[in-house]
Amino acid sequence: MKAFDASCATVGVLYPSANPMVLYGMKAISSLPMVPPAAPISYHFMDTPNSNAFKSNQQYSFYTFKSAERITTEYSFMINHQTDLNLGITNESSNTPQDVQVRVVAFAIEDKGK
């Protein structure tokens, strides 16, 4: 991903940020690189009480609008209006723990007709 970040610097003045996540969100590029499988990760979004249960290895519930089991790379567009939103990640690496990187880009969409 670092090499891809650097390659986006050549996009030009049309997109001065050259952040691949922003370019993807603006649909200026159609895809982002996928990381070769290394460590399966699972994630779920949940509210604070369920997040506390998740951290305590107790039974918890999660929102169903977006979650994944045993992935290595994922990108998605999410439109969500939850006021209480936490991300729970389970790193299922077998012998050696692997780092998990989470990148988030938010866009504010304004109606130009108003």
For residue 31, the model assigns a pLDDT of 82
Name the residue with tokens 């969409």.
Answer: 109
Section 82-109 average pLDDT: 81
Strand 67-71 to strand 41-46: parallel, antiparallel, or no bridges (unpaired)? antiparallel
Give the pLDDT confidence of 30-89 residue by residue, as tens digits. Answer: 888 877 666 678 899 999 999 999 999 999 999 988 888 888 788 887 777 788 999 999
| Angstrom distance (rounded) from CA 61 to CA 50 | 6
Reply yes or no on whether the pLDDT at 107 is more than 90: no
Please give the radius of gyration of the chain, using alpha carbons only, rounded to the nearest integer.
17
For residue 56, the model assigns a pLDDT of 96
**Residue 88's beta-bridge partner residues?**
44
Q: Which residue has the higher pLDDT, 112 or 55?
A: 55
The number of angstroms, rounded, from the C-alpha of 40 to the middle of its chain's C-alpha atoms is 15
